[in-house]
Amino acid sequence: MEFSDHKAIYLQIAEYVCEHILLKEWKDEDRIPSVRELAVTLEVNPNTVMRTYELLQSKNIINNKRGIGFFVAEDSISKVKEYRKTTFIEDELPNVFRNLYLLNIDFKELQSSYQVFIEQNFRS
C-alpha cells in the first residue's frame, strides 16, 4: 500500500480499515485480519497496526474478542461515518477554510460548485 507523507501511518491504516467497512468488504460481525496478518499485508510494524486497532476499538468500530481476534462491530457503517466526519472536520476542513479565506471565495459560489459536483458525480 502506498502511504502518503502527510498523515501518521496508524491513521492511514485506520482509513484503510474504514474503507473496507464502507465498501462492505468487511461486514458487521465479520472477523477482520489479525494484527500480524494486516502488518504483513501492509508491510508495517505490527505495533502500528495494534495502535490502529486500539483507536478503532475506542471508536466502537471494531471489537476484540479475547483469544479469537478482532471483529467488525454492529452498526459499524454509521460509526465509521461519524468517525470520518469528525476527522474531516478536524483535519481537512481547516485547510479548505484557509484556502477559501486566502482566495476570497464566497460561500454562495462554493454552494453552486458543490451542487454541480454532486450532479456530475452522484446523480447519474
Partner 1 sequence: MITIENLNFGYSKRPMLFRDMNMQLNCGHIYGLFGENGAGKSTLLKNIVGLVYAQSGTLNVMGFDPKKRQPALLQDICFIPEEFELPSVYIDNYLKSTAPFYPKFDYQRFKLLISEFNIPSDQRLNEISYGQKKKFIIAFGLSTQARLVIMDEPTNGLDIPSKTQFRKIMASALTEDRCIIISTHQVRDLDNLIDTVIMLNENSIALNASVEEITQKLCFKRVKELDETVIYSEPSISGYQAIFSNSNEQESKLDIELLFNALLNESGKLKQIFN
Residues lying near partner 1 in the complex (CB under 8 A) are found at 3-9, 11, 36, 39-48, 51
Shorter beta-carbon distance to partner 1: residue 89 or 116: 89
CB of 122 to partner 1, least distance (A): 30
Is 46:35 a contact under the CB 8 Å cutoff? Answer: yes
Shorter beta-carbon distance to partner 1: residue 43 or 106: 43
Q: Give the list of residues 6+ apart from residue 45 with CB closer than 8 angstroms, or none.
A: 39
Cα atoms in the 13 Å half-sphere on the side-chain side of 114: 7
CB of 71 to partner 1, least distance (A): 22
CB of 76 to partner 1, least distance (A): 22
Is 21:76 a contact under the CB 8 Å cutoff? Answer: yes
Q: Which three cell numbers stand for residue 70?
A: 478482532
CB of 103 to partner 1, least distance (A): 14
Is 42:13 a contact under the CB 8 Å cutoff? Answer: yes
Shorter beta-carbon distance to partner 1: residue 8 or 118: 8
Give CA–CA dist 109/23, Å, rounded.
32
Shorter beta-carbon distance to partner 1: residue 6 or 65: 6
